[in-house]
Structure 1
Amino acid sequence: MAAPGRDGELRRTFPAFESRAAAGEEIAGTWWGNAWVTALEAAALDPKRLARGRGYAEQGSVDAITVTPGLVLAYVQGSRPRPYRVQVRLRTLDDTDWERFLDAAAERPGHIAALLDKELPHSLADCGVPLLPGPGDLAPQCSCPDSGHPCKHAAALCYQTARLLDADPFVLLLLRGRGERELLDALSRLSAARAARAAQDRPAAPLPGVRASDAWAAPGTGPLPPPLPAPPHPAQPPAYPAVPGGPDLFALDQLATDAAARAHALLTTGRDPVGELTLWQDAVRLAAARPGSGLTATTRAMYATLATATGRTTADLARAVAAWRQGGPAGLAVLEEAWDPPAGRFDRARPLLLAADLPAFRPRRNTLTHPRGHTQLRLGRDGLWYAYESEPGRDDWWPRGTPDLDPVGALTGLGGSADAH
């Protein structure tokens, strides 16, 4: 159940909390986390079960927690050897509620800033949408034989969920039915549309300079007006209307945002940061710029379009995006270009791996491969080591981890994939 590899926009898995050193301290530290605890405790039929559930939570008996729309899932270790499967359900909001929430969030710029800072303003929670649960809204269910409402295992999961909400209110919004990226995209579009309408309502400010008719009528030519100062940051693109048979709005928004960022860099620094990229490199960069690209139907369509335009497959693009996110253009070069490094750093890598109690990696050109064939190190022309992983027995290498000057350091965080035995 707790499989982080399956996480996406509408599924998030959180590792188990460690046991608390001091029992009895407050479960939640934010007002919305405490509101969740209040909803749990106000509907509980047995305070003793709540106390035991809180003890389970403080002892670290709740395993990894998976949150999806309307559902929190986890295994909780009780008095028996086999843990119990616990779930807590919460009603998701309908489209009307979400429209009201988005209108309230976009009404004040501070609301969006607070959400990005992992804060939930009181005014946003009081916008008429039932974001926080009330007494009786939480519906727990457990595989244990206890018929209490809630049982101590469900209470433990609810207490730990309050700690998740403390750290990130987007967990609450996901429980109510919408993922973080979807909400932020919707808020961005709504804010841009409101700004565009406000700009249309304002009278046009007079532009600096001389009217063309006056300049044409005047004898000779006058001096050019000084250039306007560069804006502090690129502006957001306008909200594009949906037109049947028109362009893909998501792709258009992506390209407009990217073009604005490149134009701003050119205006302020005098150079285009991506002007020297090839068509393929630029396609990979665009695909990698969107967090979670390739997970939704819209971004899958973008992947397919970029892959077709560059004569590659979507699988090629997905692997290249992973390499770009690992190391930018240098990471993509490591994925696609084998080379013969000179003596020196490459030759020193194998003794360093052996000294770290790792097996003798097999050298080939700029790569060192684990003897079991599931982990590989690639030396880039930038002098960094890049880690790759593949299923044993398959030549299907994917970038993993963070590049490092130290080959042992590049393997850090790959779990058991680089073990010595």
Structure 2
Amino acid sequence: MPATAPPHLPRTMASPHRDSELRRTFQPFPPRTAAEETGFAETWWGNAWVDALEQGALDVKRLARGRGYAERGHVDAITVTPGLVLAYVQGSRPRPYRVQVRLRTLGEDDWARFLDAAAERTGHIAALLDKELPQSLAVCGVPLLPGPGDLEPRCSCPDSGHPCKHAAALCYQTARLLDADPFVLLLLRGRGERELLDALSRRNATAAARAAQERQPAPLAGVRATEALADRRLPPLPSPLPHPPHPEQPPVYPAAPGGPDPFALDQLATDAAVRAHALLATGRDPVGGLTLWQDAVRLAAARPGSGLTAGTRALYSSLASAADRTPADLARAVAAWRQGGLEGLAVLEEPWDPPAGRFDRARPLLLAADLPAFRPWRNRLTHPQGHVQLRLGQDGLWYAYESEPGRDDWWPRGTPDLDPVGALTGLGTLDEP
């Protein structure tokens, strides 16, 4: 004989789009196969639900028919809300029956006891997240699982049995829901999954804070405010230690392959010691007001020796790069610094317009010394052959410069002097470039 086709169910009457934290809709279970027709529930809490149904039933035959309905897939989508399971069950008539199973929700005191028990062990929360219901939570003094007579079925069919076969079918399918997710049982008892997990997290945080507070040492004995605010004469501060008479010599820095130049390190350390000593002794940093470029020139000019050795070239390259200048710019600036310090550097880089007086008297003095008429421009007097130049600094001194004729490549030479003729002393022949 051909196999009997399962009854045709109408389009589901569930409304999953209305689901929320306190309303969950589950798709219909497919008909069970012959291999599955053993126990309807697999977990201990699912079997406890089935036991509550079967022990509270008044007619075993109706239970058997309801179980058959459930096995053959007659139960439509199931909606679970606090205290209520709702579904449409297809019976012998074309129109399915509307079936409800009610279960009392827990009160606030019961929920408080349940949450305390669940938060007592970290394994409880982990088990719930793994869709497991620890048996210890079922014996914590809270009626979490239903007992005989706790399930209250209602059906739109004319059968007055308790329960009717349609309600029994819904109860059996609900046991399968509980197997898959124990939070369905907790929702039936009145609380949604997110609300429960949030409450457990808060309890865990509170317990952890309380435990941490208990582990803290006892507070120190306090002092009365009147004692703390009473007038007290503090002893005078000790006199500061005398500053050393001179900066200490820094240690010798060993050379290392690929490491910094030990001579440059020694120079920087010595410079830092000198500045620190001056600051300690006078309260002023003698070079604290310098710009980056001026300080780079000062450091390069302080390097002992003359000539661009390999170490000097490396130092010049590093300092010039830091100041966004070229090594040639730095070498010229070092010559100016060695000629006249910070004022010498200003004379090199900053032309200015001197007032009438000393600058105007310089040309007659040069003519009186049998020198040709120098060409004036701002604070500068240039030899007509273009190889010697005098620059008047704002300190009133004359600074001599030399260049290849026609190249305008001026380099500081000689020693600054109040007399323009004296500033040219030692520059060699002034008449021939």
TM-score normalized by the length of structure 1: 0.48
Return the TM-score normalized by structure 2.
Answer: 0.47
